[in-house]
Structure 1
Amino acid sequence: MKILWVKPGKLLPLDTGGKLRTYNILRHLGATHDLTYLSYYGGQRDEAYERDVLTHLPGTVSVYTAAPEATGSARYFDYLRHFSNPAPYSISKFAAPQVRKLLREWIPQHKFDVAVCDFLASTLNFPDKLVTPTALFQHNVETILWKRKADFEAKWLDRIVSKVEYAKMRRFEPEQTRRFHHVIAVSETDRETMSPMVGREHISVVPTGVDLRKYQYDPAARPSGPLVVFTGSMDWAPNIDGVEFFCKEIWAQVLAKVPAARFRIVGRDPQPRVRALASENVEVTGTVPSIIDHLREAAVFVVPLRIGGGTRIKIYEGMAMGKATVSTTIGAEGLDVQHGRDILLEDSPAGFASAIITFLQNEEVRRRYEAAAAATARKYDWSVITEQFVQVLQKTIQAAQRQVEDLDSVPK
């Protein structure tokens, strides 16, 4: 197949779950299909990135949009600038005239057998009339994500922004999901959530995967003491909320039973709220070359998320390395895991702490969960996931053909 893939933002470095999911599927698709990856980004021009991404994905077309990359207080002013736009700010800021122009040229020319709109944020760049069969790849159900952010956001100003984004997203997301020939979800949970928007028959599930060459289980390995580890991008609001929740409401209960325990927060760009959590038994690493060594040292891997959508790749990465894992139900939402089999799911601070304590104090129980976790993750190598993705792309082509046939059958 000739495949066009469109995604906002730089793909490298691979420091978020969305980037990892996209990269691994693209890597496997490019090995057997004619792939054109349109990578567009703003901020400052990054020629090193444009060269680097080509070495990973030779069919890449990089487009520098020169869109401002607002951070800190400037983000609020940029938000106000977009406020009158009916589309959510998280979408409208990724609308790029250069990309719209390219897609208006490419889509009608039948240059590709199928196109992928990767993330809802890319949708405004696609023409209204999709002549090329096109799938919308939904890593998250954005409406749910913004609703949860509105419920849990700590800063009052961010909470107001989240509520406005949620209100706009409730209208925008259903409109966009109906516009594409097919929608790809990352879990059955997301599929059910989106079904009222577009109809269940128009949504297929391609689950999250893991790179089993990279994340390997060693049954003989032992943790580096009573170490509890969390991994994730520490500039992402759900992760910030998660580690704050953990440190303020869970960690003291763990220390009361296991005084020697240590908690390590591993991930890029820790915000001031995260850095403030550092103490004699809480370490904030910042950006690291690889999370593998940190996972290898962990006795327990935790995912204390209260906000989020889609699925957490980090859980399968930890499980693939045979890590005893404790998560909230939202943290493990949509994954093929089962409480009491290969993971412990706890939403209350007391229950979460008790699960960690069990793993730290009872090696026999911990090792049983380690083996079960690795067995679950083995089913989800990215090569297998990509085969499923190809089947859905073929389904997208068939859906577009049926749409044309239905239009042709209407009396003129």
Structure 2
Amino acid sequence: MKILQLCNKLPFPEKDGGAIAISTLTQGLISSGCEVKMVAMNTKKHFTPISNVPVKFREETRLEAVPMDTRVKARKALLSLLAKKSYNVSRFYSHDFKNKIVSILKEETFDIILLEGLYLTPYIAYIRRFSKAPVVLRAHNVEWLIWHRLAKEERFRLKRTYLNKLAKQLKEYESQAVNLCDGIMVFTETDKMKLAEMGCKTPVEVFPFGINLNNYLPAPAPQTPSLFFIGALDWMPNVQGMEWFLKHAWNQIHTAFPGVTFHIAGRNMPGKWKNASIPGVVFHGQVEDAMEFMKTHSLMIVPLFAGSGIRIKIIEGMALQKPVISTGIGLEGIICVNGNDVIRADTYHEFFDAVKKCFDEEEYMNRIGHNARKTVEEHYNIGSISGDMIRFFSAMIDSKQTQAKAAAAE
């Protein structure tokens, strides 16, 4: 099966959930016998010299990267708002990227066109003109829902109004775009349900995020207990959640456990945190080795109050046998049981109680971690997931061919 995979960023370095989700799937499909050609936007925000991508991956995917500037521009954002068009989407459109897709489709034939996220959907019209292959959207999130939840948590009225506007425009676009595809893949049953509520008529299947478990070998528990958070710190839901945790939960935890430290890592850390001095808190910024960072610390903290899709860092933490304490939104869509393989906390009192129980009862903390690893082994193995996905693609191809024959017979 020959697949053209279109991405809104290069999947390297593998330092955020989106990049890991893309690269892991690509390698899983190739290992299952598919031929994958990847074309990715190389944005200023996530710019990576293509020479930094592993040679094996570049060669196997015949990787091409198109430079793009998707940064938010105030004037364009205002004009889009007045024109009632989603700026979240329009800033990912580029004539250069469109021309690259068209030139490839003129030269090659593919069995599947795979779009990694909603922001590739503006190119569907051009894909249809030059390819008869089914177009499959891999929806990493229900995008409008992220902005809707951010607006709900925003205290400042003017900003809340603006975020609500963005969410409304994005929902209108997303509701139309999902019906332009031949098939949709989502990470969670929750997202599948949300798409149905939006009026999606396109076939939707759930394929959880998968990992290669050989790359996630648990390490012995650290001698000194600590908390940690790792995630993109230029993503608003992460920043919002971390600010809440530091303001409402951390002081109580640090007072009860003065020897415990809280380690925060992630790219593009806000400037106000770089020189911040909060007792017991260590701001690392972007770390060289995310896996090693997670192995070094005891408890993963995920205070997320907005978002959609699946929190890939939680799956990684569980694979490394780390007890995860997260809000319900953070755990949304993950196959897990509160008190068995994860710990849910939605208030600062619940975060404190969860941390206290883990540090007071080592056996409980270890049991949560061991069960978390078993859950990932059972449900998030990329080998079986990519095989199921190929069968879904085959069904899309058969359906497309049947429709074409029926149309020709009329």
Query: Partner of 1:93 in structure 2?
Result: 91
Query: Partner of 2:26 in structure 1?
Result: 26
Pair 1:104–1:126, CA change in 2 (3 A):
farther
Query: Partner of 1:303 in structure 2?
Result: 302
2:209 is paired with a residue of what secondary structure? coil
After superposition, where does 1:251-266 map in structure 2 within 5 Å? 251-266=250-265
| Distance in 2 of aligned mates of 1:182 and 1:389 | 11
After superposition, where does 1:82-161 map in structure 2 within 5 Å? 82-84=80-82, 86-104=84-102, 106-107=104-105, 111-127=109-125, 129=128, 131-153=132-154, 158-161=159-162
1:48 positional shift: 3.1
| Distance in 1 of aligned mates of 2:43 and 2:53 | 17
1:108 positional shift: 7.3
Query: Partner of 1:12 in structure 2?
Result: 12
| Distance in 1 of aligned mates of 2:46 and 2:232 | 23
Query: Partner of 1:320 in structure 2?
Result: 319
* Aligned residues of 2:139 and 2:185 also touching (Cα < 8 A): yes
1:406 positional shift: 5.3
Query: Partner of 1:382 in structure 2?
Result: 382
Deviates more, 1:386-395 or 1:282-291: 386-395
1:299 positional shift: 1.9
Amino acid at match of 1:119: G
Query: Partner of 1:372 in structure 2?
Result: 371
1:283 is paired with a residue of what secondary structure? strand
Pair 1:142–1:46, CA change in 2 (3 A):
closer
After superposition, where does 1:7-406 map in structure 2 within 5 Å? 7-31=7-31, 32-43=33-44, 48-49=49-50, 52=53, 55-58=56-59, 59-65=61-67, 67-70=68-71, 75-84=73-82, 86-104=84-102, 106-107=104-105, 111-127=109-125, 129=128, 131-153=132-154, 158-199=159-200, 202-218=203-219, 221-275=220-274, 278-379=277-378, 380-405=380-405
| Distance in 2 of aligned mates of 1:396 and 1:277 | 52
- The two structures, once aligned, show a CA RMSD in angstroms of 2.5
| Distance in 2 of aligned mates of 1:401 and 1:278 | 62
Could you list the runs of 5+ residues in structure 2 that have no partner in the other structure? none
Deviations 1:154-204 (A, max 9, x none): 666654442221111121101110010001101111111111335477100
2:374 is paired with a residue of what secondary structure? helix
* Aligned residues of 2:13 and 2:53 also touching (Cα < 8 A): no
Report the TM-score when normalising by structure 2. 0.90
1:45 positional shift: 12
| Distance in 1 of aligned mates of 2:321 and 2:275 | 30
| Distance in 2 of aligned mates of 1:155 and 1:54 | 48
Pair 1:44–1:206, CA change in 2 (3 A):
closer
1:126 is paired with a residue of what secondary structure? helix
Deviates more, 1:231-240 or 1:221-230: 221-230
| Distance in 2 of aligned mates of 1:90 and 1:122 | 12
Deviations 1:83-102 (A, max 9, x none): 45554112111111122234
| Distance in 2 of aligned mates of 1:242 and 1:145 | 13
Deviations 1:234-281 (A, max 9, x none): 111111011111111111221232222211101111112444654230
Aligned residues: 404
1:20 is paired with a residue of what secondary structure? helix
Deviates more, 1:29-38 or 1:54-63: 54-63
| Distance in 1 of aligned mates of 2:151 and 2:399 | 36
Amino acid at match of 1:17: G
| Distance in 2 of aligned mates of 1:46 and 1:316 | 26
1:7 positional shift: 0.9
Pair 1:30–1:85, CA change in 2 (3 A):
farther
Could you list the runs of 5+ residues in structure 1 that have no partner in the other structure? none
1:114 positional shift: 0.8
1:401 positional shift: 2.9
Pair 1:371–1:63, CA change in 2 (3 A):
closer
* Aligned residues of 2:114 and 2:137 also touching (Cα < 8 A): yes
| Distance in 1 of aligned mates of 2:150 and 2:235 | 11
* Aligned residues of 2:182 and 2:202 also touching (Cα < 8 A): no
| Distance in 2 of aligned mates of 1:264 and 1:43 | 28
* Aligned residues of 1:11 and 1:53 also touching (Cα < 8 A): no
Amino acid at match of 2:225: P
Deviations 1:195-237 (A, max 9, x none): 133547710011012332222124xx12242200111011111
Deviates more, 1:268-277 or 1:92-101: 268-277
1:292 positional shift: 2.1
Deviates more, 1:26-35 or 1:12-21: 26-35
Pair 1:338–1:45, CA change in 2 (3 A):
closer
| Distance in 2 of aligned mates of 1:217 and 1:318 | 9
Amino acid at match of 2:24: N
Deviates more, 1:235-244 or 1:121-130: 121-130
| Distance in 2 of aligned mates of 1:17 and 1:6 | 17
Query: Partner of 2:3 in structure 1?
Result: 3
* Aligned residues of 2:66 and 2:97 also touching (Cα < 8 A): no
Amino acid at match of 2:372: A
Report the TM-score when normalising by structure 1. 0.90
Pair 1:393–1:48, CA change in 2 (3 A):
same
* Aligned residues of 2:43 and 2:69 also touching (Cα < 8 A): yes
Pair 1:196–1:341, CA change in 2 (3 A):
same
* Aligned residues of 1:342 and 1:369 also touching (Cα < 8 A): yes
* Aligned residues of 2:11 and 2:18 also touching (Cα < 8 A): no
* Aligned residues of 1:192 and 1:200 also touching (Cα < 8 A): no
